[in-house]
Amino acid sequence: MTDFLPFTRPTLDEATIAEVVAVLRSGWITSGPKVAELERALAAYLGGGRQVRVMTSATGGMEMALKAAGIGRGDEVVVPAMSFAASANVVVRVGARPVFVDVELRSRNASAASFEAALTPRTRALMPVHFSGLAVDMDPVNALAAARGLRVIEDAAHAIGTRYRGRLIGSFGDIVSFSFHANKNMTTVEGGALSFADPALALPLDRERFHGITKDAAGNVDVFDAGGKYNLTDVAAAVGIGQLRRLEEFNARRRALAARYHERLAPRLDPDQLPPAGDDGHAWHMYAVLVPFARLGTTRDGFVAAMRARGIGLGVHYPSIPGLTYYRQLGWDPEAFPNAARIGAETVTLPLFPAMADGDVDRVCDALLELMQR
């Protein structure tokens, strides 16, 4: 019987597991030397003289970043309509208003032109999302922000290791948030990181990460803000250190698997059903295709079940944010963002993770094409 192929699976080597065991035996398992080591390693990897802070999730990181940037009630942040709900949720949670823009159908990325068209006098920040590890065209986005005095908070949850014009995402720009969730290109089980250049952000981020606390040289504690609690553990950081060592290897394998998907599917599917072929800078967090379920006389649930019956797991990344109940209740019309609406209705995510064999891609493509010919 053929083994079940999930849509993703983390790769954890024995050296990383041994490091985790060593941390557990050390007696210091919460935030400590391993967190500091991971932050130094990430800063060295990204380059560009960046400061890095790690935390319990990219969602927490983006919320911390918005607060540190002074964004709150009465402000607006421009957000792509196609992303994970967290991209908009964090804006709401700080009291600001997400303003949605549509995305390009194949890349799932928003453009500087779409951001500019959504600006109002209340706009304080732009939130480009590097969907599936494909870099947004950042130069015009950053130029727009500089001209209008706006912050740029990049949702790079999918983009650790992505390169834009030869530069790593996170090595430049304003504030960049990465995710290290279990399904990402590298993981800390749960976790995330912020990369930033502005030294003025360090203190508010450090305070927000741990209860608003500041300690003096003697260890005396004071609280200057009603901070949250987002500190990463040393156990999680040990996983991240091992993962970062292999990140370039992982991403190279992801690119090879994505290229095989494209080779198999491009001759058989319409171009707008597939993501762009990408380049050497694309980290390939996911490979998502559009399936015209109604035309095939099925539903997404039925299609996913049919693939599962063939031993293949699919994901759904993502529903359109304006189509979610909460945002419809806030007055957003999902049909105002037709590309995001179509993606949300037709998308399925194919298996993609470094341990896959080329034959696994062929197996997925054979099953997918068989079901789409019915």
Q: Which of 188, 223, 245 is the last residue of a domain?
A: 245
In 3D space, the residue among 57, 359, 319 whose CA is nearest the CA of residue 209 turns out to be: 57
Whether 338 maps to a domain, the answer reads: yes
pLDDT at residue 316 tops 80:
yes
Residue pair 177/151 in contact by the 8 Å Cβ criterion: no
The DSSP code for 201 is G
Radius of gyration of the chain (CA): 21
How many domains are contained in the chain? 2
Range of the domain at 75: 14-245
Instruction: Give the pLDDT confidence score for residue 280 in this predicted structure.
Output: 92
121/192 same-domain check: yes
263/220 same-domain check: no
Whether 63 maps to a domain, the answer reads: yes
State pLDDT tens for residues 134-155: 999 999 999 999 999 999 999 9
pLDDT at residue 22 tops 80:
yes
255/361 same-domain check: yes
215/258 same-domain check: no
194/265 same-domain check: no
192/220 same-domain check: yes
Q: Which of 216, 245, 274 is the last residue of a domain?
A: 245
Instruction: Give the pLDDT confidence score for residue 278 in this predicted structure.
Output: 84
Cα–Cα distance, 341 to 332 (Å, whole number): 12
Backbone angles phi, psi at 159, to 5 degrees: -120, 25
Reading the block at residue 115, the tokens are 């951001």
Q: What is the dihedral sign for C-alpha 179, 181, 183, 185?
A: positive
Percent of the residues in the chain that have a pLDDT greater than 70, as a whole number = 99
204/65 same-domain check: yes
Q: What is the mean pLDDT of the chain?
A: 97
For 207-231, letters b (16+ CB in 10 Å) and e give: bbbbbbebeeeeeeeeeeeebbebb
Whether 216 maps to a domain, the answer reads: yes
Cα–Cα distance, 47 to 282 (Å, whole number): 18
Whether 332 maps to a domain, the answer reads: yes
Cα–Cα distance, 320 to 345 (Å, whole number): 8
Cα–Cα distance, 327 to 89 (Å, whole number): 10
State pLDDT tens for residues 227-238: 999 999 999 999
pLDDT at residue 374 tops 80:
no
Instruction: Give the pLDDT confidence score for residue 1 in this predicted structure.
Output: 53
In 3D space, the residue among 61, 34, 51, 68 whose CA is nearest the CA of residue 207 turns out to be: 68
| Cβ count within 10 A of residue 105 | 17
Average pLDDT of the residues in 175-196: 98
3-class DSSP assignment, residue 290: strand
Instruction: Give the pLDDT confidence score for residue 361 in this predicted structure.
Output: 98
101/121 same-domain check: yes
165/91 same-domain check: yes
Please, which pLDDT band fits residue 2 given cuts at 50, 70 and 90?
confident
Backbone angles phi, psi at 21, to 5 degrees: -60, -40
113/193 same-domain check: yes
Which residues participate in catalysis according to the annotation?
184
Average pLDDT of the residues in 355-363: 98
Instruction: Give the pLDDT confidence score for residue 58 in this predicted structure.
Output: 98
Q: Which of 204, 227, 245 is the last residue of a domain?
A: 245
State pLDDT tens for residues 275-312: 999 889 999 999 999 999 999 999 999 999 999 999 99
By DSSP bridging, strand 123-126 and strand 76-80 are parallel
CATH number of the domain within which 339 lies: 3.90.1150.10
State pLDDT tens for residues 219-260: 999 999 999 999 999 999 999 999 999 999 999 999 999 999
Whether 311 maps to a domain, the answer reads: yes
Whether 360 maps to a domain, the answer reads: yes
State the pTM of this model.
0.97
Please, which pLDDT band fits residue 180 given cuts at 50, 70 and 90?
very high
pLDDT at residue 78 tops 70:
yes
CATH number of the domain within which 167 lies: 3.40.640.10
| Cβ count within 10 A of residue 247 | 17
46/175 same-domain check: yes
Whether 8 maps to a domain, the answer reads: no
Whether 362 maps to a domain, the answer reads: yes
Q: Which residues contact 113 (CB under 8 A, 6 or more apart)?
A: 140
339/316 same-domain check: yes
Backbone angles phi, psi at 345, to 5 degrees: -80, -30
Cα–Cα distance, 360 to 219 (Å, whole number): 55
